[in-house]
Structure 1
Amino acid sequence: IQRVYFSDEAEQMINELIILSEGIYLNLNENDRFLSPVEFRDLRFAREIQSRYPAHELYRAQPILKKLQTVKSKWEVDATQTAIDITEKAFKRVMKFVKPGVWEYEVEAEITHEFIRNRATGHGYTPIIGSGANACVLHYIDNNQQCKDGDVLLMDFGAEYANYNADLTRSIPVNGRFSPRQKDVYNAVLRVLKGARELLVPGTVFIEYHKEVGKLMESELLGLGLITKDDIAKQDPEWPAYKKYFMHGTSHHLGLDVHDIMYRYHTMEAGNLFTCEPGIYIPEENLGIRIENEILITEKGNIDMFKNIPMEVEEIEDWMNG
């Protein structure tokens, strides 16, 4: 950075630059699944520019920005890994802290303290700390209930470091031991994650990937007795039977934004960084389990950037009881 100007000089600076240019690239919130019902800031700015400079050529910045943001440089991967390392420390800390009687907000406080003491700039997003039935609420952020003996605690959190984010989800038993049913559901989710992870390779089309993961989840839900073959035979193709217990997507891009920009029809390529986060939510059993890792796609396959963070049932129980 060679020069810094005051914000009240911005309008004059923009005018000088545009007058010397032949075209203007405008950044708009382009989303192929959502059309905003309100006029957002970038659209207002674009209309003002178009009105003031009607003789200039206008171009879309989003295709360029999407390419830049979805393919990560080594520096970006390293910054993300630092955020992940801090998040790992926080998770290992709370595994030792959680026990029957603690409150969800106390768990959040432990995470926040570990982030700050490791020089994270804070949370990458509002953390989800949901025990028991709260784990079935996808974006539960109240974090104000007591963790009870026999509950599973779902924690979705991630540190932010140098503007890059980690995004971790783990589900742990409050008392340190999974019940047989909890273990069965947990391992079903884990098998889906491992199967989905194998699909995150160059050449996979994002929207087709989600369909394949749906088939994996369908098989696991059959095994758990949560859906039947008759449910599948009668299902609405637009809302398959498995969505009763797994109603969200499996992956999203990660980077400067926790949910980074992309198109549904994107073909995966080396340098892409995705979350992988299947879950099963059973409100009638007060049980919600989600497991989430970050996967970096490379020319030679993929790298699980959370490989050092406990994920297997035995690893979690050993950490909590060691």
Structure 2
Amino acid sequence: MNKTHIDVAEFQQRRYRLLAQMPANSVALIPAAKEVTRSRDTEFLFCQDKDFFYLSGFHEPDALLVLVKGDSADTPEKVAANLDVNESILFCRDKDPQAEIWHGRRIGPEVAQSEYGVQHTYGLSELEQVMPMYVNGRSSLYFAQGQDKVFDDMVFAILDILRNGAKQGFSAPGTLQDIRPIVAEMRLLKSDAELAIMRSANEISGNAHQRAMKFCQPGKFEYQVEAEILHEFASNGARTAAYGSIVGGGENATILHYTDNQDVLLDGELLLIDAGAELCGYAADITRTFPVSGKFSSEQAALYNLVLESQNAAIATIKPGSNFAAANDAANQVLTKGLHQLGILQGSLEQLLEENACKQYFIHGLGHWLGLDVHDVGDYQMDENRRQLRPFEPGMVMTIEPGIYIDAEAQVEERWKGIGIRIEDNILVTESGYENLTVNAAKTVEEIESLMATANKA
């Protein structure tokens, strides 16, 4: 059974950690996402704001989390020990039997207080009256200014009321702070519960990639393969993909964010699939590339093994204290040497290595943070040369995804043209090195060919 649950105590602890980093006499406002209209009176499937979810675990739209820091407590433990002055307040939709008949059940303020471990709850109908009292008299206000204009307007309206209410004893915070950098740093290091979910998301996603390999054959359409992937996700509790699935056959694989997924798959082509499930809000992000017919050509195998070698070299560098720059150097060295050996890059190898000449065909970054977002939050600490020097720490999760893309216009021998290959795994930094979370999606040439050869393709 996949673990898809984070205890309410963990959400409480996250709030205590955030409050501990705020100065005394401050307040933070974190709004939930709103439903987004798709067309006329239909909405897109709701996706909760990730920072709001991280701190509350609450799934309904239009809610608001308010965190009040009253004293100078400097540890989460001290915050938790003094909840009379360090408070969590949740505003959520009021219970409404008529609305619930049409649009589904609402938790309501009364149940939300006990289920989500906050000190106080209010209905949204009370927001305008109650929220100013939590902002009044505070020295600092934390919120994500610029993220939601409607919310910004509401906050500044409250500030105007407080600034103009000196005769009533009101005072507005003198300092406005962006809350996002603090939460981003918290989200970067994953807990055991988060990692359990991410392992499950990887397991589901890996099975989906293997299902696609078994299903694939010449004459199928890209969208049919995509349907197999999405079916595997949903059948195992991941109702949605973490992002728009890329299913690109042949030269479509050289388009990095190809999502049309409408062309027929041809014998002799490769199929690149970049697809990951979202489970309990957490993303997997996996890419596999394999032959439509089930058998790599010699050129395809040569390039594929080169990309795989570069990925293995990059992953081998991952450990506490290392960084993305070191992983990039390892991958680029392997790719540049290999492309030179194959005759795709020509000239002095020493100069090619110095210039990172592989970037002509490896045109994107090596990887990114992964978590509640596919391209997750967290500083990379780039230097003036855009080298990502942030030291890895246990609990960080990232993708490692080298690739080679040679389109039809490239100045290379005809046999290399129209080939796009990417291999992507999700990697956790551990105390002693790394753990590859992507363990069940065939990856070597031999594994892929064997899996596809034994598939029943009626």
Give the structure-1-normalised TM-score.
0.88
Match of 1:85 in 2: 203
Aligned CA-pair RMSD: 2.5
Match of 2:55 in 1: none
What is the alpha-carbon distance in structure 2 between the residues aligned to residue 103 and residue 5 of structure 1? 51
Q: Is 1:125 aligned to residue 243 of structure 2? A: yes
- Gap runs ≥5 in structure 1: 29-38
Match of 2:347 in 1: 229
Q: Is 1:142 aligned to residue 250 of structure 2? A: no
Match of 2:403 in 1: 279
Q: Aligned ranges for residues 51-66 of structure 1 at < 5 Å? A: 52=160, 55-66=173-184
Q: Is 1:108 aligned to residue 226 of structure 2? A: yes
Q: Is 1:45 aligned to residue 152 of structure 2? A: yes
What is the alpha-carbon distance in structure 2 between the residues aligned to residue 286 and residue 176 of structure 1? 18
Identical amino acids, percent of aligned pairs: 37
CA offset digits 1:279-319 (Å, max 9, x no partner): 00111311100000000001111001112321111000000
The total of aligned residue pairs comes to 310
Higher RCO (CA < 8 A, seq sep 6+): 1
CA offset digits 1:222-246 (Å, max 9, x no partner): 1222212348738995xx4221100
Q: Is 1:75 aligned to residue 207 of structure 2? A: no
What is the alpha-carbon distance in structure 2 between the residues aligned to residue 283 and residue 10 of structure 1? 56
In structure 2, do the counterparts of structure 1 residues 207 and 44 end up closer, same or farther at CA, with 3 Å as the change threshold?
A: farther
Q: 1:309 aligns with which of 435, 441, 451?
A: 441
CA offset digits 1:15-53 (Å, max 9, x no partner): 22212533222335xxxxxxxxxx652797298379636
What is the alpha-carbon distance in structure 2 between the residues aligned to residue 44 and residue 231 of structure 1? 56
What is the DSSP-based 3-state SS (H/G/I as helix, E as strand, rest coil) of the residue aligned with 1:172?
strand
AA in 2 matched with 1:99: Q
CA offset digits 1:199-223 (Å, max 9, x no partner): 2211123345434432332222212
Match of 2:134 in 1: 17
Match of 2:362 in 1: 246
In structure 2, do the counterparts of structure 1 residues 99 and 45 end up closer, same or farther at CA, with 3 Å as the change threshold?
A: same
Alpha-carbon contact 1:155-1:169 (below 8 Å) kept: yes
What is the alpha-carbon distance in structure 2 between the residues aligned to residue 150 and residue 11 of structure 1? 63
CA offset digits 1:111-140 (Å, max 9, x no partner): 111111111121000000000000000000
AA in 1 matched with 2:433: G
What is the alpha-carbon distance in structure 2 between the residues aligned to residue 4 and residue 142 of structure 1? 45
AA in 1 matched with 2:148: R
Greater mean deviation of Cα atoms: 79-88 or 223-232: 223-232
In structure 2, do the counterparts of structure 1 residues 113 and 227 end up closer, same or farther at CA, with 3 Å as the change threshold?
A: same
What is the alpha-carbon distance in structure 2 between the residues aligned to residue 208 and residue 319 of structure 1? 34
In structure 2, do the counterparts of structure 1 residues 124 and 295 end up closer, same or farther at CA, with 3 Å as the change threshold?
A: same
CA offset digits 1:38-70 (Å, max 9, x no partner): x65279729837963654333332332122111
What is the DSSP-based 3-state SS (H/G/I as helix, E as strand, rest coil) of the residue aligned with 1:169?
strand
In structure 2, do the counterparts of structure 1 residues 209 and 43 end up closer, same or farther at CA, with 3 Å as the change threshold?
A: farther
Alpha-carbon contact 1:254-1:275 (below 8 Å) kept: yes
What is the alpha-carbon distance in structure 2 between the residues aligned to residue 8 and residue 214 of structure 1? 57
What is the DSSP-based 3-state SS (H/G/I as helix, E as strand, rest coil) of the residue aligned with 1:229?
coil
In structure 2, do the counterparts of structure 1 residues 167 and 106 end up closer, same or farther at CA, with 3 Å as the change threshold?
A: same
Match of 1:34 in 2: none
Give the structure-2-normalised TM-score.
0.63
Greater C-alpha Rg:
2
What is the alpha-carbon distance in structure 1 between the residues aligned to residue 362 and residue 150 of structure 2? 35
Alpha-carbon contact 1:124-1:166 (below 8 Å) kept: yes
What is the alpha-carbon distance in structure 1 between the residues aligned to residue 352 and residue 444 of structure 2? 35
What is the DSSP-based 3-state SS (H/G/I as helix, E as strand, rest coil) of the residue aligned with 1:247?
coil
Match of 2:431 in 1: 299
Q: Is 1:193 aligned to residue 318 of structure 2? A: no
- Gap runs ≥5 in structure 2: 1-111, 114-119, 164-171, 382-389, 409-416
In structure 2, do the counterparts of structure 1 residues 236 and 318 end up closer, same or farther at CA, with 3 Å as the change threshold?
A: closer
AA in 2 matched with 1:293: D
What is the alpha-carbon distance in structure 2 between the residues aligned to residue 316 and residue 120 of structure 1? 25
Greater mean deviation of Cα atoms: 116-125 or 56-65: 56-65
What is the DSSP-based 3-state SS (H/G/I as helix, E as strand, rest coil) of the residue aligned with 2:247?
strand
